[in-house]
């Protein structure tokens, strides 16, 4: 894995390639391109359009930038999932932010739907287009994968039906989707897991990567995943991932109904 970044530092343009996860450098950069391997020595080059200046306040929020969890999730899908299982598969990314993980799946041949809050949809579309997918989601280079963007706000009015209409998918993926509120809890966890459940069927594999910001929130997420996905719900050991993707502060779950 390599992350090429460009940023201004003390009036000088700095270009460097990171060989490890470094969110602060990524968030300070105006140009980001991530290189991942698909496990067959094929380099996946993914340019990222982000809006660091809109990460706070009433603008786009935390989805405006690329986070470590999305890179870990994408790296897992690229290197640990056989490509034949993604070719032509239906993938839904929940809370996609800049759409990084879903776009990686589309580059690997999947039919991807990126979902986010309405204000984030234009940024997702911009990222899809930056990676060669046209306004209708088709790969302009003629690849099998597709990438479309839709609005979905879990917890909002009618979200259950809208989530259900996106399923059953072959894969449901998500990274860094639940956060701590002012009381130290995340009231969005139940709606988040319910959205995943409604998108899932007997053949669906769910992959969720979550940074541990609060032990209570992490425990709630794990409990609800285990309660809803009884066939399998395992925590992937960080040491089983490629070295650049190992981060003790992130948990990666793989689940099935």
61 Cβ contact list (under 8 Å, min separation 6): 54, 55
**Per-residue pLDDT tens over the stretch 190-239:** 999 999 999 999 999 999 999 998 888 889 999 999 999 999 999 999 99
Identify the pLDDT of residue 6: 94
Average pLDDT, the chain: 92
Identify the pLDDT of residue 183: 59
Identify the pLDDT of residue 40: 61
Question: Is residue 90's pLDDT more than 60?
Answer: yes
Question: Is residue 107's pLDDT more than 70?
Answer: yes
Identify the pLDDT of residue 187: 65
User: What number is the average pLDDT over the span 249-254?
Assistant: 95
Token pair belonging to 135 = 């306004």
**Per-residue pLDDT tens over the stretch 52-76:** 888 875 667 888 899 999 999 999 9
> 133 vs 99, 110, 189, 227, CA distance in Å?
12, 12, 31, 37
> 166 vs 13, 160, 197, CA distance in Å?
43, 10, 11
Question: Is residue 41's pLDDT more than 70?
Answer: no
* Torsion angle, alpha carbons of 8, 129, 199, 111, to 10: -130
User: Which among 31, 25, 36, 80 has a CA at the least distance from the CA of 51?
Assistant: 31
Q: How many whole angstroms separate alpha carbon 73 and alpha carbon 174?
A: 8
* Torsion angle, alpha carbons of 47, 32, 125, 165, to 10: 90
**Per-residue pLDDT tens over the stretch 225-242:** 999 999 999 999 999 998
CATH architecture, domain defined by 54-256 = 3-Layer(aba) Sandwich (3.40)
Higher pLDDT, 172 or 186: 172
Question: Is residue 184's pLDDT more than 80?
Answer: no
Q: How many whole angstroms separate alpha carbon 51 and alpha carbon 123?
A: 9
């Amino acid at each position: 894995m390599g992350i090429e970044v460009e940023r201004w530092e003390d009036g000088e343009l700095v270009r460097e390639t990171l060989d490890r996860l470094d969110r602060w450098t990524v968030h300070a950069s105006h140009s980001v391109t991530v290189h991942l391997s698909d496990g067959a020595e094929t380099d996946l080059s993914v340019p990222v359009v982000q809006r660091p200046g809109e990460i706070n306040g009433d603008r786009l929020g935390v989805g405006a930038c690329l986070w470590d969890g999305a890179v870990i999730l994408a790296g897992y899908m690229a290197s640990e999932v056989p490509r034949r299982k993604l070719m032509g598969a239906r993938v839904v990314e929940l809370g996609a932010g800049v759409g990084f993980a879903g776009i990686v799946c589309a580059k690997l041949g999947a039919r991807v739907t990126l979902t986010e809050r309405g204000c984030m949809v234009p940024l997702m579309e911009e990222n899809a287009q930056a990676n060669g997918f046209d306004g209708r989601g088709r790969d302009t280079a003629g690849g099998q994968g597709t990438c479309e963007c839709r609005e979905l706000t879990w917890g909002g009015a009618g979200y259950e039906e809208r989530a259900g209409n996106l399923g059953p998918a072959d894969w449901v993926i998500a990274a860094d989707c639940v956060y701590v509120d002012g009381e130290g809890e995340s009231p969005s966890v139940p709606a988040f897991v319910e959205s995943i459940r409604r998108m899932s069927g007997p053949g669906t594999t769910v992959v969720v990567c979550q940074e541990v910001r609060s032990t209570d929130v992490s425990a709630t997420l794990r409990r609800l995943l285990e309660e809803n996905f009884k066939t399998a719900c395992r925590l992937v050991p960080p040491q089983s991932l490629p070295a650049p993707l190992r981060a003790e502060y992130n948990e990666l779950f793989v689940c099935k109904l």
